[in-house]
Each structure stands twice: as structure tokens, then as C-alpha cells.
């Protein structure tokens, strides 16, 4: 069976349109065509070349194919031209008919999704999708994208809860390593250093190196190192891990506003108290810029959500009457883009349990994401999620990385998988029978497309069971 590997150029603010040339796609008055060219370098070219060398065919949307067909055959001195000419090029379109003018181009007749499924079922090398944003979104909805080289995991709520592994997590990561997939861990928890997190994971049976762990504490220290002179004092509100990260980059942690700090760094620490917050408030009022490692309102625990750094940031926000100058961790994209850059590829899947940090951060970084329902965010929050916080996939746990029956692309269709969802009396009505995850995908389709209250009621016994599985029966 062949795999479909997607390669996209996506800016950090979500722009996919016309990355290569000013005239590539000027729809809707778009005037920034060619925006990706200044960032193209030898590393990117090598990665693209290696990916093309392993490709057995191209799958393109109609608009992308038309642009390529009008451009590449004329680039006779470009080494990519003969490669593209030689590859079979399948075009997903309901309007194009063969024969097509660019050599080895073939329209997919009939239902494009069914035709793609047939292509995947064949024996042969992987199929690459370049650009073709509308096509990629459709493929994702139907669960047809399966090429991710790097998987980036959140930790709390995905791999472990506090200091205990979540059931199935150890086995899932071991399988990824066995399959040769690159793995990285990105956490907003600033109470541990990268080396401590790696040791914790290894002790749980998840082998990890410090270089695979990206923490908001380390990212904050690196940012301050780049902005302050060596040895500058930084007032720390948080755990010893944040102080250690600052010392590691040549800065001097301090504890009081009287020490005239050049900045305030605030991260989570279970021992943070009123006096710590008071010193930070005085320092910020005196002119020190205020850096927050993250703004997670809560953190998961076996007993339920507990106050996180965002709750402590809210205390200072109330006292100062303003927001932090800089928030470093998720949902800011830096942790994810750093992980993707280290892997040397754009094919990255972010796995997280929080819509407001993991999933929103992945979307800001232009990366696909999988929401696992083992941590903070639940199905009710998913149905009410604004567009910026909607994942590409949902699963109960990490089994969704391997078992197609344990994951679903969202949103689905309102009438798919044996389910139907309608809006009745201001509520979502679920009827039918089928896989619970398909019911959730159908609910997302309606909840995300109509301004309705996401309260749900069941229209059948099977629907009631599905809603109960997601805690939506209350």
C-alpha cells in the first residue's frame, strides 16, 4: 500500500498562497507572492531533493497542476524539471479531462477521493502532494494523509500525568522509535530542565535525550540571553529549573526588585507565593520588561486540573493592569517551529491534549495536530473551539497514531459513518449508529459551521452511548 506524503510551504501566520512567485496566485488581490523564496537555502533544497528522489508519483490539485504545467516545462536549465516531467502526475479535478498537455499528467475521473483511495491501495513508491491546499484539506478530512516524519508531543496529559505515564504512552513511543520516526517533546511546564524531563521520561520507560526536549523555561532563557548583556540580573518568579536555565546562558537570577533586574521571568513553580509576585510587580512598575514562560490556566493532575502558570500570571496582570510584554511558550509557535527545524523537514505532527496551547500553537506554526482526550481538553471544549484551536485529528489516546480505527479526521460530514447530526431547538441532535469517533467528527462538522450552542442530545440508544463515551451526556 502506498503512502501519501504532503509537503507545504506555510507561513507562521497560516499563509499558503503563492509561496514561489509574485504571479503564482493573485486571487483576492494577494500581493505577496514569492514570500517563501528569501528563506530557501541549501538545506531546504537538499531536503526537497531527497523527498523527490523517494517519490513515485505526484498528486496535485487542479489549480496547482495548472500553475506547474505552465511554469516547469519552460525551465529547461532547472534540475527539477526532468524529475517532474518523468513522474506520473495525478490531478484531482471534477472538470479536467484527458489527455492533459504536460507529459505524464493524468486526471482522476469520477470521485477524486475514491480515486485517491485506489491509488493508495496500489503497490509502489509513496505519492507526494505539493501545495494543493484545498486538496490537502479534503485528504485530511478523509484520513488519507499518512506521511509525518517528525512527531512532537506535549508531555503533561499526553505522555504522563505529573509523574506517572498515561496507559499506552510508553508502548506508543517505543513503536515510533522502532519505526525510525523522529520524536520530540515540547512542554510549557517551566518547573523542570530539559535534562530533568529527559531523565523523568527515561525512568518511565520512554528513552529520551535532553536535545529531544523543548521546555518553555529553556526557550525563555535563550530569548533573554539574546536580548540582554551577559551577566544581567533577571528577577525570577518560578521554580529552580528556570533559574538554572538562566544561569546556563550566562544571566544572573535575582529575587528582589531592589537588585534592579533587567527583566522579570515568570514561570510555574509550586512554591510561588505572594512575596514573589510582589517583588515582580515592583520590578515591572520600575520598568523591567515582563516575560512569561507560558500562560496555561491549569495543569493536569490525577485529581483534576490544578492552577497553572497562567493563573499566577493573571494575579500580576490584575495588579499591573496589563499583559506580559512577551509570552514564550505555547500557543506561541516557537517550540514547534524549533522542533521542525531541528528535524530538517516540514512534515511534522503535533500531539497534544490542550486546544488553547498545543493545538492553537500547532496551527500558528502551520503544522497538523492530533488532539488526544487523555488530558485537559474534552469533547465539549472541542465542539465549542474557535477556528484557531481546531485540530486536524482526534483520538481517545495515542493508539490513534497507529490504528486507523482509533483516530478520526475533523471535521467530518454531518451524515457519515452511520451518524446524522441536525440542529433542533437550538441543540445538536445526534442520531444513528456507528463508531463513536465518527459521531464526534459529525458533531464537529455541524457545531463548527453553525452559530449554535454546542449542547447535544441523543436521538437513538447508540447515540446516547456515543455521547456518554465523550462525557456529553450531562
Active-site annotation, residues:
154, 156
CA 472 to chain centre: 25
Q: At what angle do helices 334-343 and 216-227 cross, to 10 degrees?
A: 90
Rg of the chain, C-alpha, whole Å: 24
Instruction: Locate 418 and state its grid cell.
Output: 452511520
| Cα–Cα separations (whole angstroms), residue 361 to 167, 258, 335, 401 | 25, 36, 9, 20
β pairing state of 182-187 and 213-215: parallel
Distance CA 206, CA 183 (A): 11
Distance CA 265, CA 325 (A): 11
Distance CA 209, CA 196 (A): 10
- Cell 483516530 appears where? 407
SS3 helix, strand, coil % of the chain, rounded to 5? 40, 20, 40
Instruction: Locate 206 and state its grid cell.
Output: 520512554
Given a contact cutoff of 8 angstroms between Cβ atoms, the answer to whether 32 and 38 are in contact is: no
Scanning 210-359, the segments in alpha helix (DSSP H) are 216-227, 240-248, 274-285, 309-320, 334-343
β pairing state of 89-92 and 55-61: parallel
Question: What is the dihedral sign for C-alpha 264, 268, 271, 272?
Answer: positive
- Cell 530557501 appears where? 40
Amino acid at each position: 500500500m502506498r503512502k501519501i506524503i504532503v509537503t507545504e510551504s506555510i507561513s507562521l501566520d497560516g499563509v499558503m498562497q503563492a509561496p514561489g512567485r509574485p504571479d503564482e496566485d493573485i486571487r483576492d488581490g494577494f500581493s505577496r507572492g514569492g514570500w517563501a523564496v528569501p528563506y530557501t537555502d541549501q538545506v531546504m533544497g537538499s531536503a526537497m531533493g531527497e523527498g523527490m528522489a523517494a517519490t513515485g508519483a505526484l498528486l496535485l490539485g487542479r489549480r496547482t497542476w495548472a500553475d506547474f504545467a505552465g511554469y516547469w516545462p519552460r525551465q529547461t536549465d532547472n534540475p527539477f524539471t526532468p524529475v517532474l516531467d518523468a513522474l506520473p502526475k495525478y490531478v484531482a479535478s471534477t472538470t479536467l479531462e484527458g489527455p492533459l498537455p504536460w507529459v505524464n499528467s493524468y486526471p482522476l475521473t469520477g470521485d477524486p477521493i475514491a480515486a485517491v483511495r485506489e491509488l493508495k491501495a496500489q503497490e509502489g513508491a509513496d505519492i507526494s502532494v505539493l501545495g494543493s491546499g484545498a486538496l490537502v484539506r479534503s485528504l485530511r478530512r478523509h484520513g488519507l494523509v499518512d506521511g509525518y516524519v517528525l512527531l512532537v508531543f506535549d508531555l503533561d496529559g499526553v505522555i504522563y500525568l505529573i509523574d506517572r505515564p498515561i496507559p499506552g504512552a510508553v508502548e506508543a513511543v517505543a513503536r515510533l522509535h522502532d519505526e525510525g520516526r523522529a520524536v520530540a517533546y515540547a512542554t510549557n511546564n517551566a518547573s523542570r530542565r530539559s535534562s530533568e524531563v529527559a531523565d523523568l521520561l527515561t525512568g518511565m520507560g520512554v528513552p529520551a535525550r535532553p536535545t529531544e526536549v523543548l521546555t518553555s523555561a529553556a526557550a525563555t532563557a535563550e530569548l533573554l540571553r539574546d536580548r540582554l548583556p551577559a551577566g544581567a540580573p533577571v528577577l525570577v518568579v518560578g521554580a529552580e529549573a528556570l533559574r538554572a536555565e538562566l544561569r546556563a546562558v550566562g544571566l544572573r537570577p535575582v529575587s528582589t526588585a531592589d537588585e534592579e533586574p533587567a527583566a522579570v521571568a515568570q514561570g510555574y513553580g509550586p512554591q510561588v507565593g505572594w512575596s514573589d509576585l510582589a517583588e515582580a510587580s515592583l520590578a515591572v512598575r520600575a520598568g523591567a520588561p515582563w516575560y512569561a514562560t507560558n500562560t496555561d490556566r491549569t495543569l493536569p493532575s490525577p485529581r483534576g486540573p490544578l492552577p497553572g502558570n497562567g493563573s499566577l500570571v493573571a494575579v500580576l496582570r490584575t495588579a499591573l493592569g496589563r499583559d506580559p510584554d512577551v509570552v514564550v511558550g505555547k500557543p506561541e509557535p516557537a517550540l514547534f517551529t524549533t522542533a521542525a527545524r531541528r528535524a530538517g523537514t516540514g512534515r511534522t505532527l503535533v500531539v497534544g491534549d490542550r486546544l488553547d496551547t498545543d493545538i492553537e500553537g500547532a496551527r500558528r506554526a502551520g503544522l497538523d495536530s492530533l488532539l488526544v482526550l487523555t488530558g485537559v481538553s474534552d469533547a465539549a471544549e472541542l465542539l465549542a473551539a474557535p477556528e484557531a484551536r481546531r485540530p486536524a485529528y482526534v483520538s481517545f489516546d495515542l493508539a490513534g497514531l497507529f490504528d486507523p480505527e482509533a483516530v478520526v479526521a475533523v471535521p467530518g460530514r454531518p451524515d457519515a459513518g452511520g451518524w446524522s447530526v441536525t440542529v433542533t431547538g437550538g441543540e445538536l441532535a445526534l442520531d444513528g449508529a456507528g463508531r463513536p469517533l465518527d459521531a464526534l467528527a459529525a458533531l464537529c462538522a455541524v457545531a463548527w459551521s453553525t452559530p449554535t450552542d454546542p449542547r447535544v442530545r441523543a436521538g437513538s440508544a447508540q447515540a446516547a452511548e456515543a455521547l456518554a463515551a465523550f462525557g456529553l451526556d450531562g
